[in-house]
Structure 1
């Protein structure tokens, strides 16, 4: 089953993608992780964009995904997380693979804002923690790799609201594009309940 997980920042889609990928025994393909883990000349190219605060071009991302989808572990499907973010990207994705189901994890705006305001990021491995509900074992240290955790400078309430507006604007056409294949889950009911709801809606 080729799945696409969508949801605003802090909706828990990354967490759920990891859990569901283990249950279904298909890989979780996070575009953020793919970009962080590339090597060689391509890494230098990607870093040059990241260091300027620019997004890596869609065409480059499609090339990376196309190569990733060729790997044997995707034979029975995958969970894609982080792409597409807009209609143009969805149409480009159609050219290299077919998506069977889209899991939209919905969280109300105020809950999302609080989650992001309390969020701690690992700049090294990309792990996320919450200063209130999902604290690291050692204060401000990543459980996974031991690096120092940071709070993003742009995680202010005003900036978060703006990002959520952009997400709503860009995502609606994507969900319309996948009409008939979208299942919607409430992301505010606790990790275990969200997992169960996703599995039930996917009928697996």
Structure 2
């Protein structure tokens, strides 16, 4: 089993819905930050090593056919090279709506280091390195993050050939995604999940692995 498709889009761009969609289309299991939470210390250690410049994708993605969300999105260039036959998706939304969603969820937690529960410290340290340091270049102000988001999307579009890349928003639904992957369109609605409330419910499960 190898990675057949991955997303270069930042977290909070419909990545959990995309994970569910890919799994429904037969590209599961799909790696997502939720998988890191479920798997615990082993994945945290592997992604910490990736942040040190030593990614072991074979170990990280053992048993997975697809990957979305952070930490994957922070290593999209390496992923594109490591899996040259994999299709690439850029999960997207407007920069302004992304900043609000990200600021209300992930960023709020990462910037509240004094209140991190001890069992979550290793995981949140890794996430901070991957998200704030690597993807955002240390930028955490709203105006700056809008520019980083735009620059990230522009870089992905410039680096990945058009026939390999799909820019996809959750509102686009099944049709472009299925066309990109060469699979039939399901009869069921495109998944919609991971509201701000659901994010914090998921966080409650992010204790010791």
Return the TM-score normalized by structure 2.
Answer: 0.53
Alignment partner, residue 105 of structure 1: 91
Q: Which has the higher helix share?
A: 2
Q: Indicate the residue corresponding to 1:130 in structure 2.
A: none
Residues 161 and 195 from structure 1, CA distance in 2 versus in 1: closer, same or farther, beyond 3 angstroms?
farther
- The equivalent position to 1:79 in structure 2, one of 67, 75, 81, is 67
Pairwise CA distance, 1:109: 2.5
- After superposition, give the CA deviation of every residue in 1:140-186 in whole Å (9 maximum; x if it has no partner): xxxxxxxxxxxxxx9xxx73442232232234333322213111223
Unaligned 5+ runs, structure 2: 110-131, 133-139, 184-209
- Higher-Rg structure is 1
* Deviations, residues 25-66 of structure 1 (Å, cap 9, x unaligned): 4221125743773437x85x689x7xxxxx962524x12x22
Task: Please tell me whether residue 6 in structure 1 is matched to residue 8 in structure 2.
Answer: yes
Count, aligned residues: 150
Inter-partner Cα distance in structure 2 for 1:164 and 1:12: 17
Q: Which is strand-richer, 1 or 2?
A: 1
Provide the aligned C-alpha RMSD in A: 3.9
- Whole-angstrom CA distance in 1 between matches of 2:6 and 2:85: 7
Q: Return the TM-score normalized by structure 1.
A: 0.54
Gaps of 5+ in 1: 50-54, 124-153
Q: CA–CA distance in 2 between the matches of 1:29 and 1:58? A: 20
